[in-house]
Chain A
Amino acid sequence: MNLVLAQTPPEGPPSPLARVMEALRFIWAHRPEELAAMLGIIVLLAFVSRVPVSYNLLNLVARWRTAALTALAFTAVVGLLVVMLAFVNGMHRLTVTSGQPGNVLIMSDGAIDEAFSNLATADVPDIENQAGILRDDENKPLVSRETYLIANMPTPNPPPGRPKRRFLQVRGVDDPARSAIVHGRKLIDGGRWFSDAGVSELPDAGPNDAPAIEVLLGGGIAREMGNDRWPDEAQRGRNPDRLETGDTFMLNNRTWLVVGVFESTGSAYDSEIWAKQSLVGKMFGKENYTTLAARTAGPKEAQTLRDFLVKDYTKSKLAAFVETKYFENLSETNTQFLIASIFVTVFTAIGGIFGVMNTMFAAISQRTKDIGVLRLLGFKRWQILVSFLLESLVLALVGGLLGCAAGSLFDGAEANSVVSSSQGGGKFVVLKITVDLAVLSSGMLLALMMGFLGGLVPSLSAMRLTALDALR
């Protein structure tokens, strides 16, 4: 997960702020390594301290209530951080995996998002035949012609307190099979592409009923819309967890028939429904294409095509984005949530640090005689410091591990959110909360930092005790 931070200027030496941001990015990107280093240092300290670690462990056991309360505080703070970072991680993965590296999204000039784009139909054939765009076996350009719009759909059975409408992301496409190739999507077994007409008659339709609009659902929205059903209806349905091939729903006074469900890829496209462009464009008053998604050979070729269309293509003014960069730009909300998570965690951790300090100060005040004896036995001041610091770190380690375990329970859970850019574009998405090594490392690093900072001042005070003062 990368922070979307200030960019260094293209020319000239980097400013101090840019250097700081670069350092932060480096630290952020290497959390597992930092955790390994910190654990290594702790083990090393345990060896060089010479004060038996068993002394500290037995004292923790003797004061098990206080130790348990302190460790639980660590558990709560670390668990919270893990869940928040896992959410942000899920958003980040979604924006990173949503795009194909060889795709270029072509929109009208000035459009920052598909929702605001309006391509002139007359321009489309010429754009599709530009050099660099791959062709299929029939020598047709691998370009998906699309109209992206957001429909306002009444939800049939909203639970109390929940909105009665949902914003449904609809993508009108001409050729679903071609579009699926361009976007790297596959149907779950049992589904099919919608027909050329994009409609079909339902078996129980009356003579005056309009035919049902055929639609393909992303995995995420299929589950979301599946929850619209009453529980017994869902149980009786083809699939209790989601809408399935053959299910129907109502939108804009028409019946829509699900003819296929895409495999979930963890991308923003999982939250969309696809239907025939000529039908949905007319139905919702957006008859022009908003987007052409063109497949090239790879990332370099995509960048070349993008640059050509933006700078050198003269027949019309266009906006073009390499698809991976387009979705990376939708990370403003990621950054916002990450900053909020860090803010909440830092303040909560500060509170936890004060709790640890309390524990350690109390422990030291009750063991001044122990400290005096240790000094008389020849243990040096720094060894006393390390000994008490290790005690604090053991508490942190135990609490941190429990917190990571608690936070990991949320791994794989689905959540709704919005990904948006700083310039106003955005998409509603269903993401998977993702706990990975980096997130767990963050949790453990936080725990160890809290243990270190909370134990440092009391340990320093223990270190400063002379043998005589301690035994007096």
Chain B
Amino acid sequence: MTFLRLIVDNIWRNPLRTILTSLGTMVMVLVVVMVLSILTFLSQTTTDKARNIKGIVTERWQLPSMMPLAYATSLKEGGPHEPGDIRIQPKDAMSWSFYGGSTDPDPKNRTMNTILFAFAQEPHTLLDMMDELDQLKGEDKAEFAKVVEKLAQNKKGLIVGKERLKMLGRQVGDTLKVYSFNYKEIDLEFDIVGTYPIPRYDLNASMRIDYLEDALDRWSREHKGQPHAMADKSLNLVWLRMNDRDTFNKVSQQILTNPEFSSPSVKLETASSAIGNFLEAYRDLIWGAKWLLAPAILFTLSLVIANSISISVRERRMEFAVLKVLGFRPWQILLMVLGEALLVGGLSGFVSAGGTYLFVNQALGGLQFRIGFFGAFLIADQAWWWGLAMGAGTAFAGSIGPAWSARTVRVADVFAKIA
């Protein structure tokens, strides 16, 4: 206890130096926590799971994937075509069609504030199959379930992400007309029935697939039975949830060998693999952030702490000599100096990471940094101990040298100089 008190007293011997070191630690830990949160999220989304696997069925050879809507029914069941084939349950399947457009009919006036991309899907799939929305619990789930129910009751309903709503200058309850650019002459009116409860979908929107299908049918009727150019290309993705890897492999084989899906041919891959393909374009950036950016910042942080501690040790040589005279052993002096650094570094790192977590997640609603189709990133729950570990770790690395030097102070040399 006395030792700990000694450490605390020593830290406040030079409050300015301690505060500057602490502030430097906090600022740099803040940046690294943000970077690590983004990297961790991306890593989690691209890591294959062993159980509860989500797969995506897409066109095999081309991007964007555009399959006939006629594929949807069979694909949502997992493409069974032989006796004994696995059939996926409706609650474990979801189809997406992408409907994009602008709120301004003139293409020349198209900006980020007029554009809308919506997933056309069945309402129940929002709670059953959408990533993270299917993990909602308690009040969040109950609230969003009401929004989904409104969409189920209103064919023209539209759920819009908060950030997208802001950019469009609209709010829940407003109506919206969208002039489509991928479904020519299929311009639709919507009633905004709610928003998503999590920042991941802040830039997205969800509409009812039957609303789009009806519009395609209506266009065909108005054009003497001629099918719309997109009629055979309107199914973009089918999501399937499977229990384990074996089931995934069997369903994948079913789909690959099903003669129904030959023109165009399709493939099933895990969601993590599909996302990984998209993120491949960013692989050098991600590598740089992981192996250059974060280590460089931590290195700088350890230098700042090393500098501070070595200055402190140099100024306290007499004190260490006196402590030795009083009976303190070298290892105790080493521990004392290390303890000072670890206390300042660890505490600063913890406070910084915790503050970042609360501020970014609660006040800002996530880091608004678009990578691919990810709009916002939350600070990871592990950030609290990351901060502590980074602060303490860099403090240890930076102070071990000066602490060793403090340990080896020779009483005779110090007092000889004074004499």
Contacts and interface: CB of A to CB of B under 8 A. Distances in A.
Contacts of A284: 61-62
Given A348-B31, A417-B285, A422 B16 contact: no
A354 B108 contact: no
Interface stretch (A41-49, A147-155, A234-242): A147-155
B315 interface: yes
Contact of B310 (A66, A109, A116, A344): A66
B281 interface: yes
Contacts of A167: 63, 277-278, 280-281
A130 interface: no
B130 interface: no
B307 to A, nearest CB: 4
A83 B31 contact: no
A351 interface: yes
A417 B284 contact: yes
Contact of A358 (B21, B107, B276, B288): B21
A423 B110 contact: yes
Interface string A339-381: 0100110011011111101110110001000000000000000
A110 B297 contact: no
Given A80-B293, A354-B20, A112 B110 contact: yes
A164 interface: yes
Interface string A63-78: 0011001101100110
A466 interface: no
B63 A310 contact: no
Given A361-B17, A422-B112, A424-B100, A70 B307 contact: yes
B17 A163 contact: no
B20 A357 contact: yes
B360 to A, nearest CB: 13
A73 B277 contact: no
B369 A336 contact: yes
Interface in A53-71: 65-66, 69-70
A252 interface: yes
B61 A152 contact: yes
A398 to B, nearest CB: 14
Contacts of B290: none
A79 interface: yes
B301 interface: yes
A344 B293 contact: yes
B311 A111 contact: no
A314 B229 CA distance: 22
A374 B303 CA distance: 32
A310 B306 contact: no
A80 B304 contact: no
A29 to B, nearest CB: 25
A149 B59 CA distance: 13
Given A167-B63, A358-B308, A116 B297 contact: no
B83 interface: no
A355 B284 contact: no
A162 interface: yes
Given A252-B61, A284-B62, A336-B370, A416 B24 contact: no
A87 interface: yes
Interface string B118-136: 0000000000000000000
B115 A418 contact: no
B181 A416 contact: no
Contacts of A84: 293
A19 interface: no
Interface size range of chain A in the complex: 35 or more
A76 B300 contact: yes
A396 B200 CA distance: 42
A416 B278 CA distance: 12
A166 interface: yes
B296 interface: yes
Contacts of B299: 76
A352 B300 contact: yes
B88 interface: no
B281 A72 contact: no
Name the residue among A111, A362, A417 with the largest chain B CB count within 10 angstroms: A362
The DSSP consensus for interface residues of chain A is: helix
B310 A65 contact: yes
A319 B282 CA distance: 30
B117 A424 contact: yes
Contacts of A72: 303
B300 A423 contact: no
A285 interface: yes
B28 interface: yes
Contacts of B28: 347-348, 351
Contacts of B16: 361
A112 B310 CA distance: 59
A109 B301 contact: no
B243 interface: no
A255 B95 CA distance: 33
Interface in A159-211: 162-167
A23 interface: no
B76 to A, nearest CB: 21
B63 A150 contact: yes
B110 A80 contact: no
Contact of A347 (B21, B31, B59, B276): B31
A80 B292 contact: yes
Contacts of B273: 163-165
B104 to A, nearest CB: 11
Contacts of A39: none
Nearest to A343: B31
Given A348-B297, A362-B315, A83 B292 contact: yes
A109 B307 contact: no
A418 B17 contact: no
Given A252-B61, A340-B369, A351 B107 contact: no
Interface in B264-285: 264, 267, 269, 273, 276-278, 280-285
Contacts of A428: 281
A350 B61 contact: no
Contact of A112 (B20, B181, B184): B181
B100 A351 contact: no
A310 B315 CA distance: 75
Contacts of B35: 344
A115 interface: yes
B296 A79 contact: yes
Interface string B57-73: 01111111010000000
A166 B303 contact: no
Contacts of A165: 269, 273, 277
Nearest to A422: B112
A415 interface: yes
B89 interface: no
Contacts of B280: 162-163, 166-167, 416
A151 B300 contact: no
Name the residue among B20, B21, B315 with the largest chain A CB count within 10 angstroms: B20
Contacts of B115: 423-424
Name the residue among A69, A84, A422 with the largest chain B CB count within 10 angstroms: A69
B25 interface: yes
B353 interface: no
Nearest to B300: A76
B282 A417 contact: yes
B25 A417 contact: no
A151 B63 CA distance: 6
11 contacts: A76-B296, A83-B292, A152-B267, A166-B277, A319-B107, A336-B370, A352-B304, A358-B17, A358-B307, A361-B17, A423-B115
Interface pairs A-B: 9 shortest CB-CB? A354-B24, A355-B304, A415-B284, A150-B63, A351-B28, A351-B24, A362-B311, A76-B300, A73-B303
Given A150-B62, A163-B273, 13 more contacts: A66-B307, A69-B310, A76-B303, A112-B181, A167-B63, A286-B62, A344-B35, A347-B27, A351-B25, A352-B300, A354-B27, A423-B111, A423-B115
